[in-house]
A and B are shown apart, each in its own frame.
Chain A
Amino acid sequence: MSFVSRGFRGKRRDEGPSGRVPPGQYLVDDFPVLSAGPTPRTPLEEWDFVITGAIAEPKRWSWDEFKALPSETVTKDIHCVTKWSKLDTVWEGVSLDTLLEDVESAAEYVVAFCDGGYTTNLPLEDVTDGKAWIAYGFDGEPLDPEHGGPARLLVPHLYFWKSAKWVRGLRLLDEDEPGFWESLGYHMYGDPWREQRYWGD
């Protein structure tokens, strides 16, 4: 890469306070919308969230039941593999620890599946012990459909493609199974602090 465009600086790319922004990332003020397809529009009366797979008894919540579960408000930094990061984002939702409370399973992995067909895979231990939520509120408001509303998975310690929009459930598995992007070049795990963006990173 030898040519440089005279005077071009691009968007203001703030690398942020040291220690908070992973390598190769820059801060943004807005909240970019990325999408692999049309925004699903599941009516809340038809929405449910299920936990299924390698589990003794599958679990299911309707929207009303889901909203009745104990919820938390958390403030987290998020990091997208396309290089933008956003600090101190505020989310409201149900911890996966709450959802997995009575679940008996020897499974070590989960696949999150969503309206529209998107999937992403994670080790079970990366969505437990206070590391993951099903979020239905952002910044004090109901989550916008373009950002994954009515509810999305939130796993802030991994690249944000793992925080699946329009999530409808988790399937517990014994083996890791690559999801939508993991099956096409993106890293199976996706730790932003080790810059695990692509296969082989």
Chain B
Amino acid sequence: MARAAVLGRLSPIAWQLGEVAELVDETARVKTLVLEVPDWPGHRAGQHVDVRLTAEDGYQAQRSYSIASAPEDERLAITVERLDDGEVSPYLAEELVVGDKLELRGPIGGYFVWEAGQGGPLLLVGGGSGIVPLVAMLRNRAASAASVPARLVYSARSPDDVIYRQELDRVAASDEELEVLYALTREQPAGWTGYARRVDEEILREVAYPSCEGIAFVCGPTRFVETVADGLVAVGYAPEQVRTERFGPTGG
């Protein structure tokens, strides 16, 4: 059923109502919304939903958010970063309460998608909120029986900006085939031995799998994605091995 969500003839995409079941503070500006969506058709890791808000006078605003939950999960989760000058994200991150309804449609997207059956090794490179679809991929990977080698490089400004920190560290500690590396670009904790700069070609050379085998997924702001994608090709990945998703100002 999840497969039909991407391939094959699709039914017309329709708006449906989800109900907020839980709200999770991930960081000071980032919140996960866990939703009950009665007619959810299933999804693949990497896909997103469109969320639409309607004001009383009919005004509407629509944004896309990557799905954070694994396809195996019963409830749908999206993770939202509150943008200071945003129109939709402050509502989602600050106004919504458990029990509120949210209009959404999806799942959307077929290009930036991974499932365990595709194998690996899997190189995931995320900048800021670009971590969200990548974490869905890792959650799907964890739920599957196959053991696919995977490496995540996650760039964030500071330790406080790292979303899903505890989960990522826990899974990396218990899974020999998963490595999680952080690049903290502005502020690092005392005694930090990880990367302390933006992801550059040198870092990519170090994290690339031998012979640049497998698939790479890169997600984040446009500038980040272009730098990393160009860097991966420079260190030896073929362009077809690198899949990208750029997050932009329509995501406010």
In their complex, do chains A and B touch, with some C-beta pair under 8 Å? Answer: yes
* A interface size (C-beta, 8 A): 11
Inter-chain contact B54/A1, CB cutoff 8 Å: yes
- Measured between beta carbons, the chain A residues less than 8 angstroms from B87 are 10-11
Name the 6 nearest CB pairs between A and B, nearest first. Answer: A5-B53, A8-B53, A7-B95, A11-B87, A10-B59, A8-B55
CA distance in complex: A40, B76 (Å): 42
6 contacts between A and B (CB under 8 A): A5-B91, A5-B101, A6-B101, A7-B95, A8-B55, A10-B61
- Measured between beta carbons, the chain A residues less than 8 angstroms from B56 are 4
Inter-chain contact A8/B95, CB cutoff 8 Å: yes
- Residue B8, interface by CB 8 Å: no
Interface residues of B in 23-63 (CB under 8 A from A): 53-56, 58-61
- Measured between beta carbons, the chain B residues less than 8 angstroms from A67 are none
Inter-chain contact B91/A3, CB cutoff 8 Å: no
Chain B nearest CB from A32 CB (Å) reads 10
B interface list, Cβ under 8 A from A: 17, 53-56, 58-61, 87, 91, 95, 100-103
- Measured between beta carbons, the chain A residues less than 8 angstroms from B103 are 3, 5
Inter-chain contact A6/B100, CB cutoff 8 Å: yes
Chain A nearest CB from B128 CB (Å) reads 21
- Measured between beta carbons, the chain A residues less than 8 angstroms from B53 are 5, 8, 10
CA distance in complex: A4, B58 (Å): 8
Chain A nearest CB from B63 CB (Å) reads 12
Contact of A10 among B55, B100, B101, B102 (CB under 8 A): B55
Chain B, Cβ-Cβ closest to A6: B100
- Residue A13, interface by CB 8 Å: yes
- Measured between beta carbons, the chain A residues less than 8 angstroms from B91 are 5, 7-8
CA distance in complex: A10, B59 (Å): 8
CA distance in complex: A138, B224 (Å): 31
Chain A nearest CB from B19 CB (Å) reads 12
Inter-chain contact A3/B54, CB cutoff 8 Å: yes
Inter-chain contact A3/B55, CB cutoff 8 Å: no
Chain A nearest CB from B216 CB (Å) reads 25
Inter-chain contact B100/A8, CB cutoff 8 Å: no
Chain A, Cβ-Cβ closest to B91: A8
- Measured between beta carbons, the chain A residues less than 8 angstroms from B102 are 5
CB-CB under 8 A for A9 and B54, given A3-B17, A3-B101: no
CA distance in complex: A193, B59 (Å): 20
**Other A-B pairs, 18, CB within 8 Å; known A5-B101, A10-B59, A11-B87:** A1-B54, A1-B58, A3-B17, A3-B54, A4-B55, A4-B56, A5-B53, A5-B54, A5-B91, A5-B103, A7-B91, A7-B95, A8-B55, A8-B61, A8-B91, A9-B55, A10-B55, A13-B59
- Measured between beta carbons, the chain B residues less than 8 angstroms from A7 are 91, 95
CA distance in complex: A10, B60 (Å): 8
CA distance in complex: A8, B54 (Å): 7
CB-CB under 8 A for A5 and B58, given A10-B87, A11-B87: no
CB-CB under 8 A for A4 and B54, given A10-B59, A10-B61, A13-B59: yes
- Measured between beta carbons, the chain A residues less than 8 angstroms from B58 are 1
Chain B nearest CB from A2 CB (Å) reads 9
CA distance in complex: A11, B100 (Å): 20
CA distance in complex: A10, B101 (Å): 17
- Residue with the highest number of chain B CB atoms closer than 10 Å, among A3, A6, A7, A8: A8
Chain B, Cβ-Cβ closest to A2: B54
- Measured between beta carbons, the chain B residues less than 8 angstroms from A10 are 53, 55, 59, 61, 87
